[in-house]
Copies of this chain bind each other. A is one copy, B any other.
Amino acid sequence: MGELRALDYEHEGVLLKGELALPAGPGPHPAVLVMHDAHGLGDHVRRRALALADLGYAALATDMYGGGKLFTGQTEVGPFFLDLQENPQRLRGRVLAAFEALRARPEVDQARMGAIGFCFGGQCVLELARSGAAARGVVSFHGLLHTSLPARAGEVKAKVLVLTGGRDPYAPADAVAGLQRELTEAGVDWQLTVYGEGWHAFTDPNPEKASVPGVRYDPLIDKLSWAQATAFLDATLRD
* Residues 150 to 188 of chain A near chain B (Cβ within 8 Å): 166, 180, 183-184, 188
A159 to chain B, nearest CB (A): 8
Interface stretch (choices A37-45, A51-59, A87-95, A194-202): A194-202
User: Given that A227-B231, A235-B224 are known contacts, is A188 also in contact with B184, CB under 8 Å in the complex?
Assistant: no
Pair B180/A196 contact, Cβ less than 8 Å: yes
Chain B residues closer than 8 Å to A189, beta-carbon distance? 196-197
Most buried by B among A180, A191, A227: A191
Question: Interface size for chain A: under 10, 10 to 19, 20 to 34, or 35 or more residues?
Answer: 20 to 34
Count of this chain's copies in the oligomeric assembly: 2
The answer to the question of A6 belonging to the interface, with a C-beta cut-off of 8 Å to chain B, is no
The answer to the question of A193 belonging to the interface, with a C-beta cut-off of 8 Å to chain B, is yes
Pair B196/A191 contact, Cβ less than 8 Å: yes
* Residues 218 to 235 of chain A near chain B (Cβ within 8 Å): 220, 223-224, 227-228, 231-232, 235
Q: A194 is contacted by which of B166, B188, B191, B231 (Cβ under 8 Å)?
A: B191
* 12 A–B contacts from the bound complex (CB under 8 Å): A184-B196, A188-B196, A192-B193, A193-B193, A193-B228, A224-B231, A224-B232, A224-B235, A227-B228, A228-B228, A228-B231, A231-B231
Binding site for B on A (CB under 8 A): 166, 180, 183-184, 188-197, 220, 223-224, 227-228, 231-232, 235, 239
